[in-house]
């Protein structure tokens, strides 16, 4: 009798488990059926909301490094979000911009909007220099996260004097973005003042642009201080000129710290003291941007996040460690600043093109 009771109890418990499992399966099937509520794929486990940061430039470049650092710090500070950097490269930023202009304004996606994208857009639209597959008014710059000083790099033995000679002879080749990118506008407008010109050899991403100089495919590379830092330390590349008012101090070579001469104060000795080269100093770097029409509460949140990111030594100190500049502008002020920068770029284009 005792054995029968135990057997009966086991059978009852087994039946209960089977009924419970069937009920759960039916509930799952119902939840995933037509017209039912689908799972929110924007939220990974732990209820964090995914925010994509679209970087239109290649892995290993300065913009990519900044996007990843920004996303990492932002995620640490605001644990309700998970920031994921996604590359959409091609056309020196054009492919990513063309993608971003068509996303839902209320989606949780941000874009690394470089000054170069803005410069080429307005120049292309006004002068027909190239087909621009996006509309800049569909982008809303929210916060500056990248401010850089362009440096003209050469291989050991290169000088500004022989660079100018090649430019006047029409044989100078450079890397650093596509034609009419901000590096080209900076160098090209300076050379125009000197009666020279430069041919741009296009590469996708800062790492490839730098490699073009290292391999001898181009004569000079215009890049950020961060881009050439390791090669300058190793002595395989040298900084020739800073596209800034004052000399740049921060790069270190095999023999110690290097003071890179500039365009106004601390002017390079090869430049004419009676000429104005300030038109070649263009804002460089970029913003984290949203889509025009995005919910104001989300736009305000991105501004809040960006201000908090800048306040952390992990971000602000790192920016200065890699040779970039701490520069903050937000919201409407960011849009106004970008408009002013575009005006400078158009003037640089007129100078190098003779318009």
Buried b (16+ CB within 10 A) or exposed e, 180-198: bbbbbbbbbbbbbbbebbb
CB atoms within 10 A of CB 51: 23
Which burial class, exposed, middle or buried, applies to 133 when counting CB atoms under 10 A from its CB (0-12, 13-18, 19+)? middle
| CATH code where residue 119 lies | 3.40.190.150
276 and 309: one domain? Answer: no
pLDDT tens across the length of the chain (355 residues): 433 343 333 333 334 433 333 333 333 333 333 333 333 444 454 689 999 999 998 888 889 999 999 999 999 999 999 999 999 998 889 999 999 999 999 999 999 999 999 999 999 999 999 999 999 999 999 999 999 999 999 999 999 999 999 999 999 999 998 899 999 999 999 999 999 999 999 887 778 899 999 999 999 999 988 889 999 999 999 999 999 999 999 899 999 999 999 999 999 999 999 999 999 999 999 999 999 999 999 999 999 999 999 999 999 999 999 889 999 999 999 999 999 999 999 999 999 998 7
pLDDT digits (tens, 9 = 90+) for 34-45: 333 333 444 454
Out of 253, 280, 307, pick the residue that ends a domain. Answer: 280
215 and 201: one domain? Answer: yes
The domain of 194 spans 151-242+244-280
Say what the pLDDT of residue 312 is. 98
User: In this structure, are residues 188 and 197 in contact, taking their beta carbons and an 8 Å threshold?
Assistant: yes
What's the CA gap between 167 and 12, in Å, rounded? 91
123 and 230: one domain? Answer: no
pLDDT digits (tens, 9 = 90+) for 59-103: 888 899 999 999 999 999 999 999 999 999 988 899 999 999 999
179 and 275: one domain? Answer: yes
Out of 226, 254, 280, pick the residue that ends a domain. Answer: 280
Give the chain's domain count. 2
In a domain, 138, yes or no: yes
159 and 269: one domain? Answer: yes
225 and 198: one domain? Answer: yes
Q: Kind of pairing, strands 173-175 and 220-223?
A: parallel
115 and 202: one domain? Answer: no
234 and 338: one domain? Answer: no
Instruction: Give, in order, the Cα–Cα distances in Å from 275 to each of 63, 166, 180, 243, 272.
Output: 33, 20, 23, 15, 6
66 and 135: one domain? Answer: yes
């Amino acid at each position: 009798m005792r054995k029968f009771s135990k057997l009966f109890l086991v059978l009852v418990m087994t039946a209960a488990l089977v009924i419970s499992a069937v009920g759960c399966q039916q509930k799952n099937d119902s939840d995933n059926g037509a017209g039912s509520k689908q799972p929110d794929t924007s939220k990974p486990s732990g209820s964090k909301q995914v925010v994509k940061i679209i970087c239109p430039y290649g892995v290993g470049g300065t913009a990519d490094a900044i996007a990843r650092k920004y996303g990492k710090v932002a995620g640490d500070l605001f644990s309700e979000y998970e920031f994921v950097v996604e590359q959409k490269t091609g056309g020196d930023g054009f492919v990513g911009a063309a993608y971003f202009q068509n996303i839902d304004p209320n989606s949780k996606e941000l874009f690394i909007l470089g000054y170069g994208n803005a410069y080429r857009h307005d120049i292309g639209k006004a002068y027909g220099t190239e087909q621009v597959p996006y509309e800049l008014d569909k982008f809303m710059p929210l916060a500056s996260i990248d401010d850089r000083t362009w440096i003209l790099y050469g291989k050991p033995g290169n000088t500004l004097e022989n660079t100018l000679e090649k430019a006047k002879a029409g044989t100078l080749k450079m890397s650093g973005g596509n034609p009419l990118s901000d590096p080209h506008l900076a160098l090209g407008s300076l050379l125009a003042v000197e009666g020279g010109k430069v041919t741009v050899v296009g590469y996708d991403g800062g790492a490839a642009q730098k490699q073009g100089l290292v391999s001898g495919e181009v004569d000079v590379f215009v890049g950020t201080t961060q881009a050439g830092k390791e090669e300058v330390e190793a002595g395989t590349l040298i900084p020739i000129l800073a596209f800034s008012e004052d000399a740049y101090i921060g790069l270190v070579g095999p023999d110690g710290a290097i003071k890179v001469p500039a365009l106004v104060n601390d002017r390079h000795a090869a430049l004419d003291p009676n000429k104005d080269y300030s038109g070649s100093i263009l804002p460089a770097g970029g913003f984290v941007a949203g889509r025009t029409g995005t919910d104001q509460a989300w736009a305000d949140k991105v501004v809040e996040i960006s201000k908090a990111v800048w306040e952390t030594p992990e971000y602000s100190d790192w920016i200065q460690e890699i040779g970039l500049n701490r520069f903050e502008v937000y919201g409407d002020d960011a849009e106004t600043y970008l408009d002013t920068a575009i005006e400078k770029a158009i003037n640089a284009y007129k100078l190098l093109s003779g318009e």
